Structure 1
Amino acid sequence: MKKVFLIIGLTLGLSPLFAQEEDIDLNADNSWLKAGLTAGIPVGDVDDASSFALGLDLRGQYLFNPNLGIGLASGYTNYFGKDDNDDFGIVPLAGFIRYYFTPDGLFFGTDLGYGFLTGVDDNEGGLYVNPQIGYHNRDWNIYAYYQNTFAENDIDVQSVGIGATYNIRFK
């Protein structure tokens, strides 16, 4: 039931960001897909169970103006088990917001949503947060991140790492 309230809350909370009085013209200058890889080191609760995190990052982004982008984020992060622990993973379903200081250069942003755990018994996931800071240009984003899923049973699945995504533009 918590998940239903979280998804409803996120939908209602993010809906004003997507509300427009005029038609949105999606084009190569304001909208694109981002696809890339992440690599991280587990910290906190999962440090004892995992030695490395490797992930796929998928995003759809819309720019309101040259400095502010919003969108949807998903993907998969695999946490490689250590000391006889099995691998497990996180599939996020999140909204994101990014602020770009200039057309090429520094950006910061965050993802907020729900992280679904895979390969874990008695724990389906929880609140997903993924702040980022990095460099971007027209084609690439390179960033550092801190990823945390506040999972059920007081378990936080956390990692810090780096990522890179390539911008696939709409034509």
Structure 2
Amino acid sequence: MKKMTKIIAVAFTAAALFIGTNVIAQSTPKSALRLGLGVEGLLPTGNLHDISNVGIGGTARLQYGLADNLALTLTSGYYNFFGKELGNTNIKTASYGMIPVKLGVKAFFTQNLYFGAEVGAGFETKTFGALKNQDTEGLSKNTKLIASPGIGYASQKWDVGVRYENYSGQSNNFGTVGLRIAYGFGL
């Protein structure tokens, strides 16, 4: 929890340093459509950290400008959380996979800097908490509710964002701190 608090504090401090006295509307021209292809580094939190230390993902984000400083987003892709050894038991958890599908908004509060918020569903592709080499045929794959606030920097081609993503459902409540680096272009 302390690590997540420090990351959030650093993100907001960085945002405060970049904010000038003049707020300038950004770069999402009204009615413009953009596509961003991103790579994500993911740090598990909550009981997801019990089965994985790190995850990676690949995502595509479609963005539609509602106003010069406000955009609607649709994001999907794939996340993989690598399994880890349980204590010193030589027993390793299996990798955990999820397909996120999220709707959201990006609100630019100054040139190139934005707050983002997304909500959606995460479809498990691998059973949560399964052990490596365990037969998972009878185990269910569930759907999780995703809620995700974030902050980022976007230029005409690049989008770098940091967010916390919470997954809840089936008596589980865990999440990730994610860093997304994406290349974007107009459609």
The answer for the alignment partner of 1:20 in structure 2 is: none
- C-alpha change, 1:139 and 1:29, in structure 2 (3 Å) is farther
Match of 2:144 among 126, 129, 132: 126
**Structure 1 residue matching 2:113: 3-state secondary structure:** strand
**Partner SS, residue 47 of structure 2:** helix
Structure 2 residue 171 is matched with structure 1 residue 160: no
Q: Is the 8 A contact 2:84 2:93 kept in 1?
A: yes
**Equivalent residue for 1:89?**
97
Which residue identity lines up with residue 33 of structure 2 in the other structure? S
Question: Could you tell me which of 101, 108, 117 is aligned with 2:115?
Answer: 108
Q: Which moved more, 1:73-82 or 1:113-122?
A: 113-122
Deviation at 1:157, TM superposition (A): 3.5
Q: CA deviation at 1:140?
A: 0.8
Q: Which runs of 5+ in 2 are unaligned?
A: 1-28, 86-91, 128-138
* Structure 1 stretches lacking a partner, 5+ long: 1-26
CA distance in 2, matches of 1:28, 1:68: 8
Q: Is the strand fraction higher in 1 or 2?
A: 1
Given the two structures, how large is their TM-score scaled by the length of structure 2? 0.71
* Alignment correspondent of 2:57: 55
Q: Give the corresponding residue for 1:21.
A: none
Shift of 1:92: 1.1
Largest Rg, 1 or 2: 2
Contact 1:37 1:57 in 2 (8 A): yes
Structure 1-normalised TM-score? 0.77
Determine the C-alpha separation between the residues in 1 that align with 2:146 and 2:93.
23
1:18 corresponding residue in structure 2: none
* 1:125 and 1:149 in contact (8 A); partners too: no
